[in-house]
Amino acid sequence: MSKLGRVVEAVEKYNRFVLDQVKRARTDEKFGRELITRWSEAKAKTPVTHTPTGLPLPRLALPEIDEPGEIARYLFGEGLPGEFPFLNGAYREMYLEPVRENELGSYGRNGDKNEVAAEMSPANRSKVPTRPPRQSRPPEEPTRLFSGLMLAEDTNERFHYLTQHQRTHRLSTAFDGPTLYGIDSDADGVFGKIGEGGVAIDTVEDMVRLYDGFDLGSPNFSASMTISGPAPIIMAMYIAAAKSRFGSKVVPKLRGTIQADIFKEVQAQNETIFPIEASLRFLTDMVEFTTRKLPRWYPISISGYHIGEAGSTPVQQAAYTLSNGFAYAEMFAGRGIPVDQFGPRLSFFLDCGLDAEYIALARVSRRIWAIGMRDAYGAGPRGQLFKLHTQTSGRSLIAAEFKNNLTRTAAELMLAYMNATNSCHSNSADEPFTTPSEEWIRLAAHGQAILLEESGIFKHTMNMLSGSPGMKAVERAVEAGILDEFREIERLGGVLAAVEDRFQRSQIQNAAHRYEQQIYDGTRPIIGLNRYRNGTDDIPEVKLARTPRAKQQLQVDRLKKFKKKNVEKAKHALDKLVDVVERGENCFPALLDAVEVSSLGQITGRLQEVVGRFRPMV
């Protein structure tokens, strides 16, 4: 049985354990009394807050139950927020306004734990922080915007602009196509793609320019890099750039996230450059290095977003993301990295759309992850946390009568926060037909502020909307669905075997096709498209900022100069790298040397000679 099979068993076993506790609470009087005492204490300790209209509300809402069996079902089956199995939330308090001194009971001050989660940011523009708003908070904080355009110095300028009024500098970096595919800017046929959709990075010199002026070792700085195929090479460039500016002392202080999710690339996003096993080996090399030398770095962001966007059902999205996560955990443990070292360095990224599953998808995922990590992998409390970034669904947005997209995104945001996501990105309404413009980005960000800050839905009380009968029904159905998917993957021989069998890929494609079919035949109503269509096309004409040819040429020229300067050194460093790869040792240190003198494309090319190229799956 693969580890995934053991996760299924662990969840089933835990569910039986919960039922046993319920029974025991009802029959064992002493146990029942203990539970009632615990329950009463939890309620008594909860501070009361007052809304602007003077309404008193507890900061944590709990179900009105006093029967020991039901209390057991809640405490063991769901857990209080911040307690195993974390159904209601990874942390005790989230989104709440800070406690005012006169309201502070024995409950204690709200920890700043949320910062741990808030610092991870995969693909996110216009993200609003989920930390409690501070009293002195300026009326508008754009926080961390996903950015990447043209050349490194252009993106750098944008980073400085975006963070100029911020205390903390949290950057989120998008790369251009050639970089995502590990190709140099001077490669054949990519000229028009240089600096499009993200920043062009070819060498360590570009990486220095990209974060110039930022204090990379500061606790107030973190960098997020949305790249997977060539992630280890880019990570090495980042470390090398930091060292060249601040010396090697800076390395253990570096904070940030790199996406590095190979499984989802093969399953959905198609930015894979080496064969799967080689990709996973390079990833593990990197994780082994960073968990030891950069303990504050998140070396992987396990992403379901792209799986969802490629067309999967919500259950498939959660099941594949979780099983990918468990497969990574198995690999890292297999390399000998202690689970309590890598466990807390894993983070997740999910899509949130409008289907009913999203009422509880992330809640259930958090629970399954916690049980699996604790009981199948032996992880301690920090390694059990499913730290989640959510993005609203881009696929749910359409061009026709696009202003409706504001409503779609608002509903999705609501669902995301009902699932207690640790951070969230809201899409711009104009996304279906253009790169988001300032106006719609602002509205998207404001949507989050309206929900979290203006409305009273999330800021007064934890669990405000948790635990409705409908939500419970969805939780049960979703959990059963996810476990069924796990069993199917297990039957195929585990995650890697299923991936190679293109199981997830074809499941996603089938679901995508079914979705399109449903829109076509009207069984999936899309307002303004197949229902209540008014026929007017109100898409505004947009002008997009494109990378000027002169800049693209500059990038090519700089790269050529770098290559010329380093001809001999590059040859030596790449030979050494290849040697280490052939010997099967951890190649990350050799990669760190190689990036000093060779370009991304040179490294990719040499590695492909040794391990081969990725063979696409159709």
Residue ranges binding another protein (CB under 8 A): 176-178, 180-181, 183, 188-194, 196-197, 265, 269-271, 275, 278, 309-311, 398-400, 431-435, 500, 509, 512-513, 516, 520, 539, 541-544, 546, 610-613, 615-618
Buried b (16+ CB within 10 A) or exposed e, 296-335: ebbbbbbbbbbbbbbbbbbbbbbbbbbbbbbbbbbbbbee
Q: Write down the least CB distance from residue 340 to another protein, Å.
A: 33
**Contact assessment for residue 559 and residue 200, using Cβ atoms and an 8 Å cutoff:** no
Q: Which is nearer to another protein, 158 or 293 (CB)?
A: 158
Q: Which is nearer to another protein, 114 or 313 (CB)?
A: 313
Q: Write down the least CB distance from residue 29 to another protein, Å.
A: 54
Q: Write down the least CB distance from residue 503 to another protein, Å.
A: 12
Distances (CA, A) of 83 to 78, 92, 93, 95: 8, 8, 11, 17
The verdict on whether omega for the bond into residue 47 sits within 30 degrees of 0, i.e. cis, is: no
Q: Write down the least CB distance from residue 519 to another protein, Å.
A: 10
Q: Which is nearer to another protein, 1 or 544 (CB)?
A: 544
Distance CA 612, CA 607 (A): 8
Q: Write down the least CB distance from residue 104 to another protein, Å.
A: 50
Q: Which is nearer to another protein, 469 or 616 (CB)?
A: 616
CA atoms within 13 A on the CB side of 153: 6
- Does residue 579 sit in helix, strand or coil? helix
Name all contacts of 82-87 with Cβ < 8 Å and 24+ positions apart. 84/370, 84/374, 84/381, 84/384, 85/14, 85/366, 85/367, 85/370, 85/371, 86/366, 86/367, 86/370, 86/384, 86/385, 86/386, 87/363, 87/364, 87/366, 87/367, 87/475
Q: Which is nearer to another protein, 87 or 499 (CB)?
A: 499
Cβ neighbours of 190 (radius 10 Å): 20
Q: Write down the least CB distance from residue 289 to another protein, Å.
A: 24
Q: Write down the least CB distance from residue 174 to another protein, Å.
A: 11
Q: Write down the least CB distance from residue 44 to another protein, Å.
A: 53
- Closest C-alpha to 349, from 312, 321, 315, 313: 321
Q: Write down the least CB distance from residue 296 to another protein, Å.
A: 31
**Main-chain phi, psi angles of 256, to 5 degrees:** 155, -170
Q: Which is nearer to another protein, 31 or 433 (CB)?
A: 433
Sequence letter at residue 168? T
Q: Which is nearer to another protein, 311 or 372 (CB)?
A: 311
Q: Write down the least CB distance from residue 514 to another protein, Å.
A: 11
Q: Which is nearer to another protein, 306 or 363 (CB)?
A: 306
Q: Write down the least CB distance from residue 617 to another protein, Å.
A: 7
CA atoms within 13 A on the CB side of 579: 9
Distances (CA, A) of 276 to 86, 197, 264, 271, 496: 33, 26, 11, 11, 9
Distance CA 388, CA 384 (A): 12
Which residues, 6 or more positions from 27, have their beta carbon under 8 angstroms from its beta carbon? none
Q: Write down the least CB distance from residue 175 to another protein, Å.
A: 10
Distance CA 272, CA 398 (A): 28
**Contact assessment for residue 171 and residue 147, using Cβ atoms and an 8 Å cutoff:** yes
> Considering all CA atoms of the chain, what is the largest pairwise distance in Å, rounded to the nearest integer?
81
Q: Which is nearer to another protein, 197 or 467 (CB)?
A: 197
Sequence letter at residue 416? A
Q: Write down the least CB distance from residue 399 to another protein, Å.
A: 4
Distance CA 117, CA 463 (A): 19
Q: Which is nearer to another protein, 288 or 431 (CB)?
A: 431
Q: Which is nearer to another protein, 114 or 312 (CB)?
A: 312
Distance CA 513, CA 268 (A): 14
Q: Which is nearer to another protein, 7 or 183 (CB)?
A: 183
Q: Which is nearer to another protein, 349 or 614 (CB)?
A: 614
Q: Where are the alpha helices (DSSP H) in 492-587?
A: 495-500, 503-521, 549-565, 567-583
Distance CA 213, CA 230 (A): 25
Q: Where are the alpha helices (DSSP H) in 46-151?
A: 68-77, 114-118
Q: Which is nearer to another protein, 451 or 495 (CB)?
A: 495
Q: Write down the least CB distance from residue 142 to another protein, Å.
A: 23
Distance CA 538, CA 403 (A): 9
